[in-house]
């Protein structure tokens, strides 16, 4: 149903036709964006699945080694061995634009490039299982950071997909039909007015001719 505030004039009709053309073009662009976002999202979902399985396997192996070390070493000795870590990590973050969505990209650097710096203790009083636990934890850390990046990307893409979907639906089911209905209403009104004008002109012509005939 046409909006009650629509004025049935040719100027308004031309304006509505322009808006309809723009709305249809925007609708197509948003649909294309939504489809591309969905494709990107599914790629990230696949990557997330692989990373999660790898991280879970790595953490399971690291905790298993730590449990064995805890069984061999006393709690006090284990705590003392891990009390003062020698290695430190600095995290960095930059952004990548995916279909107008700024997703984070994480990176890290260690204070020291020496691999042995992950062991903050001497080897005489500790078990080899503790070495294995720390080594596996260090190896899985990069995958954990990558997993955090991928999951944040999934969240941001999902939010953008939802926003784009709502805009597509608003155009498809609200704005475009309303514009089409208003255009149809104005066109009908203009045709009615044109027909009425023609009828009035014919009547005026008839009256003029009648007056002229009578006058003659």
Give the single-character DSSP code of 4.
T
Look up the pTM and report it: 0.75
Q: Which two tokens stand for residue 125?
A: 């009083």
- Over residues 118-145, the mean pLDDT reads 79
Cα–Cα distance, 86 to 121 (Å, whole number): 9
How many domains would you assign to the chain?
1
| CATH number, domain with residue 133 | 1.10.287.3240
Kindly state whether residue 92 falls inside one of the protein's structural domains: yes
Kindly state whether residue 2 falls inside one of the protein's structural domains: no
What pLDDT is recorded for position 216? 45
Q: Which two tokens stand for residue 202?
A: 């014919």
Cα angle, residue 25 at apex, residues 22 and 31 outer, rounded to 5°: 135
Which of 43-57, 127-141, 146-160 has the weakest average pLDDT? 127-141
Q: Taking the CB of residue 179, how many other CB atoms lie within 10 A of it?
A: 21
| Strands (E) located in 77-198 | 89-98, 101-110
Terminal-residue alpha carbon distance, the chain? 53
Kindly state whether residue 111 falls inside one of the protein's structural domains: yes
DSSP H helices, the chain, are 10-72, 75-82, 128-170, 176-215
Confidence of residue 126 (pLDDT cuts 50, 70, 90): confident
Stronger pLDDT, 154 or 212, i.e. the higher one: 154
Kindly state whether residue 117 falls inside one of the protein's structural domains: yes
Cα–Cα distance, 32 to 27 (Å, whole number): 9
39: containing domain: 10-210
| Calculated CA dihedral for residues 38, 41, 42, 45, nearest 10 degrees | -160
Q: What is the pLDDT of residues 70-101, one digit of tens each?
A: 888 878 877 777 776 777 778 899 999 988 89
What pLDDT is recorded for position 214? 64
Kindly state whether residue 3 falls inside one of the protein's structural domains: no
Stronger pLDDT, 26 or 136, i.e. the higher one: 26
Q: What is the pLDDT of residues 172-201, one digit of tens each?
A: 999 999 999 999 999 999 988 888 777 788
Q: What is the pLDDT of residues 29-60, one digit of tens each?
A: 999 999 999 999 999 999 999 999 999 999 99
Kindly state whether residue 138 falls inside one of the protein's structural domains: yes
Kindly state whether residue 33 falls inside one of the protein's structural domains: yes
């Amino acid at each position: 149903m046409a909006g009650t505030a629509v004025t049935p004039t040719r100027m308004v009709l031309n304006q509505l036709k322009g808006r309809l053309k723009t709305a249809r073009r925007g609708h197509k662009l948003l649909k294309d964006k939504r489809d591309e976002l969905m494709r990107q999202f599914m790629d990230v979902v696949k990557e997330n699945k692989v990373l999660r399985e790898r991280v879970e396997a790595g953490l399971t192996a690291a905790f298993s080694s730590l449990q064995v070390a805890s069984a061999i070493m006393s709690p006090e000795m284990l705590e003392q061995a891990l009390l003062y870590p020698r290695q430190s990590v600095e995290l960095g973050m930059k952004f990548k634009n995916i279909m107008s969505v700024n997703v984070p990209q994480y990176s890290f650097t260690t204070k020291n490039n020496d691999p042995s710096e992950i062991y903050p203790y001497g080897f005489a009083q500790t078990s080899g299982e503790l070495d294995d636990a720390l080594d596996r934890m260090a190896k899985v850390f990069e995958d954990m950071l990558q997993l955090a990046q991928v999951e944040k990307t999934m969240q941001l893409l999902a939010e953008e997909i939802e926003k784009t979907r709502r805009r597509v639906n608003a155009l498809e089911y609200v704005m475009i039909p309303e514009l089409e209905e208003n255009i149809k209403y104005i066109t009908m009104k203009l045709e009615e007015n044109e027909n009425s004008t023609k009828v009035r002109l014919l009547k005026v012509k008839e009256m003029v001719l009648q007056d002229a005939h009578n006058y003659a």
